Amino acid sequence: MKIGVIGATGPAGKGLAARLASVGHEVVAGSRDPARGEATVAELRERWGSRVDGLKGGSNADAAAAGELVVLAVPWDGAVDTARAHAEALAGKVVIAMANGLIKEGREFHPVIPDEGSVSVTVQVAVPDARVVAAFQHVPASAFGDLDHPMESDVIACGDDDDARRAVLELIAAIPNLRAFDGGSLVNALGIEAFAAVLLSINLRHRGKGTLRLLGVEGHTPGKEPA
Ligand SMILES: NC(=O)c1ccc[n+]([C@@H]2O[C@H](COP(=O)([O-])OP(=O)(O)OC[C@H]3O[C@@H](n4cnc5c(N)ncnc54)[C@H](OP(=O)(O)O)[C@@H]3O)[C@@H](O)[C@H]2O)c1
């Protein structure tokens, strides 16, 4: 698949871009400054060689235009304006919103809940012609970026467009060891975004790198329709 990553110079976008390229996707790593996008790709090539052959650097506009699926990997307080700035290019595409609205208060994180209920819904309102799916909120950037180690996590995808949600479930399930779960409509992104504050507080207080693992349920099987 051709995939664009907007904000691929940060740890989350960079790690995800590398991981997606490593499983065979063509990925454009974008930045507000195309030179930074290219430098990020040069750094990843230096580290991972031919494992990230499918990577290309560029601007966020290049990333938004690149593929049928675009990941919005910028901080929550820039996500809505960034999506709006690329609304035309994103129209009709699957847009993965991975932002968590969070603030740190002492030794814990608290969720920031926008009027619309979640950052993901706010992005969808800003780009009504895109098909926004919330996903990857609980996966640490370090796990994406370490290609020598398989990822160990469950990822919940929430979105209103059935085909878009299914495309994201397929994308997740094709990454070795990641399990993909259909979390229903985009309104439920509130739950996954807010839970990230709890998860990060746990990691801070217990000095760990915990991620999400669901028991008693199997993840999405590639090629199979979600129930
Ligand atoms: N870090 C994690 O472990 C993790 C895990 C799951 C989800 N997430 C989510 O993934 C997103 C990215 O996380 P991150 O830690 O990689 O973030 P980050 O490093 O703070 O930002 C990523 C990139 O976004 C661009 N950016 C920064 N501020 C911006 C703004 N106001 N408007 C537009 N672009 C801006 C910058 O790229 P340029 O300056 O090059 O444009 C930056 O390198 C966040 O929404 C976060 O909640 C993170």
Residue 225 lies in a domain: no
| Residue 79 · residue 72 · CB < 8 Å | yes
Counting ligand 1 atoms within 8 A of each CB, the residue from 74, 100, 192 with the most, and so the one to mutate, is 74
If you measure from the C-alpha of residue 177 to the centroid of ligand 1, how many angstroms do you get, rounded to a whole number? 24
- Could you tell me if residue 24 is left (phi over 0), alpha (psi between -120 and 50 degrees) or otherwise beta? left
pLDDT value, residue 225: 73
Residue 63 lies in a domain: yes
Residue 74 lies in a domain: yes
If you measure from the C-alpha of residue 173 to the centroid of ligand 1, how many angstroms do you get, rounded to a whole number? 24
Rounded CA separation 146/22 (Å) = 11
- The sign of the dihedral angle between the CA atoms of 41, 44, 50, 55 is negative
| Residue 8 · residue 14 · CB < 8 Å | yes
pLDDT above 90: residue 122: yes
Residue 215 lies in a domain: no
Residue 172 lies in a domain: yes
pLDDT value, residue 224: 80
Q: Residue 141: which domain range?
A: 2-205
For the entire predicted model, the pTM comes to 0.97
17 lines ligand 1 (CB under 6 A): no
Residue 200 lies in a domain: yes
Mean pLDDT taken over the chain? 96
Whichever domain contains 128, its CATH number is 3.40.50.720
| Residue 45 · residue 29 · CB < 8 Å | no
Domain count, the chain: 1
Residue 223 lies in a domain: no
If you measure from the C-alpha of residue 73 to the centroid of ligand 1, how many angstroms do you get, rounded to a whole number? 5
Task: Give the whole-number percent of the chain exceeding pLDDT 90.
Answer: 94
Nearest one of 80, 78, 125, 95 to 5, comparing CA atoms: 95
Residue 62 lies in a domain: yes
- Exposed / middle / buried, residue 208 (Cβ in 10 Å: 0-12, 13-18, 19+): exposed
73 lines ligand 1 (CB under 6 A): yes
